[in-house]
Amino acid sequence: MRFASITLAMLLFPSAALAQNSGLQYPVPDAAKLSGMAARLSAVTGACPVGLRAERRGTTTYVTVDGKSRRQEGPTVRLMVNNRQAKDVVGATVRVHGYGARPQLFPVSGISSAGEIAKTVTLKLNIGQGRNGEADVTAEKFGAISKIDLELIEYADGTEWRVDATRPCSVEPSLFMLVDGR
């Protein structure tokens, strides 16, 4: 009987020890820290006259064209612009790079430009000096958006900034996608 008690105690001790709370608590990030982290993951490259950030959105949006609501399908990116200039921004032209919606194969080693498509989009903006603004960019017939190049900025005084071919201004959308706009 004594042998059975010792054997039972030896069998139960490891499971009892594992069930105990170690007191170690793992930190849970709050939403403010996560949104800040998402902002840092949008990598802006080149000589940009404005600050740029791009956040991924869903794949279906509604837009109003000539007073009629119309459904567009394709990946959407919210492009956030920080006007660091001493003049108001009224428009921008961007070139969206990505991949088609049709299934395709990519080589595992290295990055390939096979299957890459691009589209130029003109945006109307109204961003005062030192202020922030945003615009949604939807790429119909795209499966994914990989990069956005800023090609032109139009200012309220009629002047323009154009990209320098040797130092392009581009941003990659963050890897996080917000759910339900939050």
Reference 47, options 154, 170, 148, 173; nearest CA is 170
List, for residues 17-53, the tens digit of each pLDDT value: 555 554 544 444 454 444 444 444 455 666 889 999 9
Those residues whose C-beta lies under 8 Å from the C-beta of residue 16, and which sit 6 or more positions away, are none
pLDDT at 166: 86
> 141 with 98: CB under 8 angstroms?
no
pLDDT at 116: 84
> 119 with 76: CB under 8 angstroms?
no
Tokens of 23: 């007191």
| 164 DSSP assignment | B
pLDDT at 123: 93
Average pLDDT rounded to a whole number, residues 154-174: 91
Fold of 46-103+114-182: Immunoglobulin-like (2.60.40)
Measured in degrees and rounded to the nearest 5, phi and psi for residue 150 equal -85, 120
List, for residues 94-151, the tens digit of each pLDDT value: 999 988 877 766 666 555 566 788 999 999 999 999 899 999 888 888 888 889 999 9
Helices (H), the chain: 2-19, 31-41
Those residues whose C-beta lies under 8 Å from the C-beta of residue 73, and which sit 6 or more positions away, are 59, 60, 140
